[in-house]
Amino acid sequence: MPANTQALIEKIQALPAERIAEVEDFVDFIRLREERARDEAAERLGRAFEKLDALNAPPLTPEEVQAEIDATRAERRARDADRR
């Protein structure tokens, strides 16, 4: 539990009942938004797996995976250097 949780609880307890209901509604809204974002990400991942499966390509070797990682990192470093 985050360190400021107790302080938040105390602040909520000090509110009038109708404001506590608003806080609860807001918390429910945030939770729903997070759930939707997670569900959408899972759906995108599923579609990506389907596309990969449809390619019928052999899996990458560990060396190929490392080469992809190295290339991406090099691109990121070059892009970051251009921003400075």
**Could you tell me if 12 and 23 are in contact, meaning their C-beta atoms sit under 8 angstroms apart?**
yes
* Residue 46 reports pLDDT greater than 90: yes
Vertex 22: Cα angle to 21 and 28 (nearest 5): 90
Residues 19-39: what's their mean pLDDT? 97
Q: Is the pTM of this model over 0.85?
A: no
Task: Write the pLDDT tens digit of every residue in 51-68.
Answer: 999 999 999 999 999 999
Give dist(CA 79, CA 77) in Å, integer: 5
Q: Collapse the DSSP code of 4 into the 3-class scheme (helix H, G, I; strand E, B; otherwise coil) and give the result.
A: coil
| Total number of domains constituting the chain | 1
Residues 22-41: what's their mean pLDDT? 98
| Range(s) of the domain holding residue 47 | 5-83
Which regions of the chain does DSSP assign to beta strands (E)?
none
